[in-house]
Chains A and B, each alone.
Chain A
Amino acid sequence: EPEVTQTPSHQVTQMGQEVILRCVPISNHLYFYWYRQILGQKVEFLVSFYNNEISEKSEIFDDQFSVERPDGSNFTLKIRSTKLEDSAMYFCASSVQAGSYGYTFGSGTRLTVV
């Protein structure tokens, strides 16, 4: 069964450092998302991406965050200057179409900011 692949599985970084989280969505999917889940809390929307541009972003997704699809397969989330409160599990998700189609989530990247 097709999978959404995320790397790395765990990243530890110092506060103020830049991190790039990587995702390879399912090849025929057109809609891409980043969500995060702080330990013990709910899954929170960060950003959606379609047709090589951001279609929607949340208040969490401020100027420190950016997304790219550099080569037609990878989908990256960059955090420019990490804060302690950015520590969370970051999930990439993709969907073949919009509407009533749900997401396929990747296995996640656990980001720990120290």
Chain B
Amino acid sequence: QKEVEQNSGPLSVPEGAIASLNCTYSDRGSQSFFWYRQYSGKSPELIMSIYSNGDKEDGRFTAQLNKASQYVSLLIRDSQPSDSATYLCAVRRTNAGKSTFGDGTTLTVKP
């Protein structure tokens, strides 16, 4: 079982739609959860972090965390072509420790 598992993708949505990205993790001791966006050939860019159960909203992005189900998701509302990228889920167990990344889900938003 992978430590961090994401939708295999690729995911394609029309412009203006909601994109839903999912991630499950195996380590119940994980404390912090992150979503990064990575454009092709570029470095990951942090877009959301969450550490409490529930929803966290930032603009068009909403992260959802359910620790009991070991599940974290990212919703992108009003998707734009510029949102086309690979989205990486990352989890961290300890305060200063490493983050473990999933394989990523590639999202394409079609105009």
Contacts and interface: CB of A to CB of B under 8 A. Distances in A.
Interface of A: 31, 33, 41-45, 48, 50, 55-56, 58, 91, 98-108
Contacts of A102: 34, 36, 46, 49, 90, 99
Interface of B: 31-32, 34, 36, 42-46, 49-51, 88, 90, 94-104
Given A42-B103, A43-B88, A103 B98 contact: no
Given A43-B90, A108-B43, 17 more contacts: A41-B103, A42-B101, A43-B44, A43-B88, A44-B101, A45-B98, A48-B97, A48-B98, A56-B96, A56-B97, A100-B32, A100-B49, A102-B46, A102-B49, A102-B90, A103-B44, A105-B43
B99 A103 contact: yes
Given A99-B32, A102-B46, A108-B43, A42 B104 contact: yes
A106 to B, nearest CB: 6
B34 to A, nearest CB: 5
B49 A98 contact: no
A101 B95 CA distance: 9
